[in-house]
Structure 1
Amino acid sequence: MRPHVVAQVAVSVDGVTSGFAVDQARFYALATLWQEDVTLIGADTILAQEQALRSTERRAVRAAGPVLAVVDSRARVREWESLRELGYWSDVLALYADQTPARPLDSVIPELITGYDRVDLAEALELLGSRHHAQVVRVDSSGRLLAVLLELGLVDELALLVHPVVVGSGRRWAPAERYDLRLANAVEFEGGVVWLRYCMS
């Protein structure tokens, strides 16, 4: 059975995901409310932070934390141990496809292989539910991964942390498709930040 999939995105009023100061503390404090079993993230997001990961303080593995699953069809991520030792997750899991380039022979990173040349996200979610007993998967992405999950109808809940600023230009989180949403909850915080939770209709 496919787990419940929730995506949370920090955006400006005009839907841009960068070019403003994101309230990171509030963003991740709210994210804990879902108590996800798996945090799903794309390789591009990890690669953008790999330099910083190398110098980040190592912590004990968080035994009760979620598993970090990284969609990495081309096997580009290298800092697996650094990710594991950030202290946020109980373990890491590489999501690969059949045609993903060969990994080092001494690699001890757990793998889940689906799809031919790209990770089959629908099958990956099903396997996360059946093999890893995941009931809630939180998508930590505002880019291509989220867009594909939405296109495939694999997102059950969408949360927008809207910041009171109009950026005017930049990458927007919203895909080109139309999606009808049902408002589940709305909360206004100090400073004009609004948290909107939607169920996918």
Structure 2
Amino acid sequence: MRPHVVAQLAISLDGATSGFDVDLARFYALATLWQEDVTLVDAATIVAQENEVRAAPRRGTRADGPLLAVVDDRARIQTWDALRELGYWSDVLALYADRTPPRPPDATTRELVTGYEDVDLLEALTALGRRGVRTVRVESPTLTSTCLDQELVDELALLIHPVLTGGEPWYDTRRLNLQHAGTEVFKDGVIWIRYCVHPECR
């Protein structure tokens, strides 16, 4: 049985995920409410931040933190050790596919291999569930869209910022049967709204 999957995103009023300043402190403060066992992101999210990751202080692993699992079917990540030592996660896990390029023989990063060309997300989540993982939080827009398309998301949480960017909406949510689960409005106009994607998530 796969874990409970929460997708959390910061978006603008017109549904874009970029082109505005995200209230990161609030975003991550709200994220702690789920007490996730695993934070799931895609390689593109990490690659876009690799310079910052390399320059960041290495505080060591956080024993009580979640596991960082990265979908990296093309073996693009070069900063596994730095990610592990940032002080946010208990460890890192590379999610690879059978056709993922060979890793260095001295690589020490834990791996989970599923799928052939691409990572099989359902199989990966099910394997994590067998290892005792109960809650997974996804925060990458592209990966969230993929998980929604594959009906792998149970709960959707959106931190909506009061700006219009003119950018492309991150997803056509009309395709989903969303059940409202809660709303909170902050003084600065930011809205936090949560939906159940499946009725069982209540």
TM-score by length of structure 2 reads: 0.95
Paired residues for 1:8-87 under 5 Å: 8-87=8-87
Identity %: 61
Residue 175 of structure 1 deviates from its aligned partner by 4.2
Cα deviation 1:96-138 (Å, max 9, x = unaligned): 001111000000100000001100000000001102x110000
Amino acid at match of 1:4: H
Partner of residue 145, structure 2: 147
Unaligned segments of structure 2, at least 5 residues: none
Residue 172 of structure 1 deviates from its aligned partner by 2.6
- Residues 55 and 196 from structure 1, CA distance in 2 versus in 1: closer, same or farther, beyond 3 angstroms? same
CA distance in 1, matches of 2:170, 2:63: 32
Partner of residue 138, structure 1: 137
1:196 to 169, 174, 193: 193
CA distance in 2, matches of 1:91, 1:177: 37
Partner of residue 126, structure 2: 126
Amino acid at match of 2:93: L
SS in structure 2 at match of 1:51: helix
Residue 60 of structure 1 deviates from its aligned partner by 2.0
Cα deviation 1:143-168 (Å, max 9, x = unaligned): 2x111100000000000101111111
Residue 176 of structure 1 deviates from its aligned partner by 7.4
1:163 to 161, 164, 183: 161
CA distance in 2, matches of 1:91, 1:31: 18
Cα deviation 1:74-103 (Å, max 9, x = unaligned): 111010001001100000000000111100
CA distance in 2, matches of 1:21, 1:45: 17
Unaligned segments of structure 1, at least 5 residues: none
Contact in 2 for aligned 1:186/1:195 (Cα 8 Å)? yes
Contact in 2 for aligned 1:147/1:175 (Cα 8 Å)? no
TM-score by length of structure 1 reads: 0.96
CA distance in 2, matches of 1:92, 1:76: 15
- Residues 10 and 199 from structure 1, CA distance in 2 versus in 1: closer, same or farther, beyond 3 angstroms? same
Residue 139 of structure 1 deviates from its aligned partner by 0.2
- Residues 58 and 171 from structure 1, CA distance in 2 versus in 1: closer, same or farther, beyond 3 angstroms? farther
Amino acid at match of 2:105: L
Question: How well do the aligned residues superpose, as a CA RMSD in angstroms?
Answer: 1.1
